[in-house]
Structure 1
Amino acid sequence: MELAISASNGKAGKETLSVSDAVFDREFSRDLVHQVVVAYRNAGRAGTKAQKTRSEVSGTTKKSKRQKGGGARHGALTAPIFVGGGVTFAAKPRSFEQKINRKMYRAAMAAILSELNRQGRLKVVDAFDVEVTKTSGLVAKLKESEVGQRPLIVTEEASEHLYLSARNLPYVQVRDVQGLDPVALVSADTVLITADAVKKIEEWLA
């Protein structure tokens, strides 16, 4: 299939880029994409939450009061019903990692890119960069490109000027091909991608 290449100023050009149907015209699988996105996000979870059981809290196990004549009978104050006592079902450190093989991950990435292309949210440009580190310059360039409120800029190798210029823009993401992930793709209003990055992604996912 052919992808239209726009100029860096946002104007539509006459050039096209020939790409693989397997990567940019793949059938969308909602279940597969959901599974891969959830697995990717879970891999970033710390899983370090920890609470203490009644056997782990610091406190005496001596009977708090006499058995009879003092109201309700109870033993140690480390029980969960007392303030400062242990937790009944205490949380422990755990891993949220889900197994996703390489074939599934690549298929999901291709499905997302194909769906973005069908929805008109994938915009290929000949090149995209800024000459100096200046946020206002990047904002002006994005406004010319008409990429919406949450753009994702994908280049073959993101330059330092481009990365630093976007750092203060909370809804603008910059990725190189190696750092591209499914969460960044699905959360973007428009994916602005260079022609060189398209070919590199095609080699990766084909």
Structure 2
Amino acid sequence: MDLKLLNDQGQAATFSAPDTIFGRDFNEALVHQIVVAFQANARSGNRAQKDRAEVKHSTKKPWRQKGTGRARAGMTSSPLWRGGGRAFPNSPEENFSQKVNKKMYRAGIRSILSQLAREDRVAVVDTFTLESPKTKLAAAKLKSLGLDSVLIITDNVDENVYLATRNLPHVAVVEPRYADPLSLIHYKKVLITKPAIAQLEEMLG
């Protein structure tokens, strides 16, 4: 698969990328599964309800067991009563995680990268570095490359690059092992350094 190789002025040449990563067929069902699993695994429980032991109620028996003509009642915290505890309350410890096999996950990432390459949303650079940790420098460099919303995958996240890009709203910089399926789909473009492509090939090939 041929990808655009950009220089600092944004001029494009051709880079021959490995078909093992960028030449796969798009598997929509698999990509959907790994994206949903990624979102589910990032989810934490925040729903909480109280059962009959946790609600604040007196434990006194409301009335005597027999002779009143009313239904028997032990305490007002019963789930049958208004203001009582829930019978099966939601808990913040609820587990939302979904398991995806490593082979499936790798195949899904390859499928996403291949589709992005076909849509001309992947570009390659030799390296991505900055002289100083200035956001203005990072914004100017990305503008010269013709990029605004971009996920930058580099073999090693330089401190200057990290500090300069962290305040840009539509830019993220990650190493290959942290390139998740949601980020790959979310950004308009993916910019990958040559050493990072070698790492991706080692991880996914």
Report the TM-score range of the alignment, normalised by the length of the smaller protein.
0.7 to 0.9
Q: Secondary structure at the match of 2:152?
A: strand
CA contact (8 A) 1:19 1:202 kept: no
Equivalent residues in 2 for 1:1-206 (5 A)?
1-13=1-13, 16-47=14-45, 49-64=47-62, 76-80=75-79, 81-83=81-83, 85-92=84-91, 93-148=93-148, 150-206=149-205
C-alpha separation in 2, matches of 1:166 and 1:2: 28
Q: Secondary structure at the match of 1:203?
A: helix
CA contact (8 A) 2:4 2:122 kept: no
Deviation digits for residues 106-158 of structure 1, max 9, x if unmatched?
0000000001101111011122121111111111111111123x211111111
C-alpha separation in 1, matches of 2:75 and 2:163: 58
Measured on the aligned residues, the alpha-carbon RMSD in Å equals 2.3
**Deviation at residue 172 of structure 1 after TM alignment:** 1.1
Deviation digits for residues 42-72 of structure 1, max 9, x if unmatched?
1112235432212332322324468859x99
CA contact (8 A) 2:20 2:201 kept: no
CA contact (8 A) 1:154 1:191 kept: yes
Deviation digits for residues 155-201 of structure 1, max 9, x if unmatched?
11110111111111222111111221111101111111111111211
CA contact (8 A) 2:49 2:86 kept: yes
Q: Secondary structure at the match of 1:174?
A: strand
Consecutive unaligned residues of structure 2, counting only runs of 5 or more, are none
Q: Secondary structure at the match of 2:117?
A: helix
Deviation digits for residues 88-111 of structure 1, max 9, x if unmatched?
431022211111111000000000
C-alpha separation in 1, matches of 2:128 and 2:38: 28
CA contact (8 A) 1:26 1:114 kept: yes
- TM-score, scaled relative to structure 1: 0.87
C-alpha separation in 2, matches of 1:8 and 1:65: 83
C-alpha separation in 1, matches of 2:101 and 2:8: 36
Query: Which region of structure 1 is more displaced relative to structure 2, 73-82 or 94-103?
Result: 73-82
Q: Secondary structure at the match of 2:20?
A: helix
C-alpha separation in 1, matches of 2:8 and 2:106: 28
Q: Secondary structure at the match of 2:132?
A: coil
Consecutive unaligned residues of structure 1, counting only runs of 5 or more, are none
